[in-house]
Amino acid sequence: MTRTKFKADPLLCAVAAAQSRVDQPDALFAALDQGLNLAIGHKLFTVLTYDEAASELARLYSNLPGAYPAGGRKCLAPGPWTEAVLDRGEAYIGYTRDDLRTVFSDHELIASLGCESVLNIPVRWRGRTLGSLNLLHEAGWYGEDDVAACLPFAQLALPALLTATSS
């Protein structure tokens, strides 16, 4: 009997290997940043944790800490974005600057960084959204095929988000 062997994705393997390092969550977030940049691309990459009870997002990581430092917080208002990404656990793609303007209050800062499109991927556990990975790039950069490519990376962020939400 012959079987088909599949080669492991080296970018996903690097992220998984980073989980074993002592310097967490920094090692994991840096590996996610690098892996997603090579796999999909981004100018701005952030990792957010979601506090459902407080209706608040907190930034755990940013590749541009000058503009978006770790520790930053956003209070959320109910709306289509929060219902899709945080409540239902669906990815959100904003294709243009106008799309970003409709969902992000900081759209001007985002645009000043050369970002006009976004891919928000929720990180989920047991039917709940614990946070999201957020990739931003030039207009029209992201498409539906990027959602599937990003999902394994997002779920590899789960240990860091579980730790952040339990502390």
Q: Which amino acid is at 163?
A: T
Across-strand partners of 75?
56
Per-block average pLDDT, block size 10, for the chain (167 residues)? 87 96 96 98 98 94 97 88 94 96 94 98 96 98 97 96 81
Task: Give the pLDDT of residue 165.
Answer: 73
**Backbone φ/ψ region at 89: left (φ over 0), alpha (ψ -120 to 50), beta:** left
Across-strand partners of 74?
57
pTM, entire model: 0.94
Fold exhibited by the domain 38-166: Beta-Lactamase (3.30.450)
Return the domain boundaries, the chain.
38-166
Task: Give the pLDDT of residue 26.
Answer: 95
Nearest to 52 by CA among 83, 92, 91, 94: 83
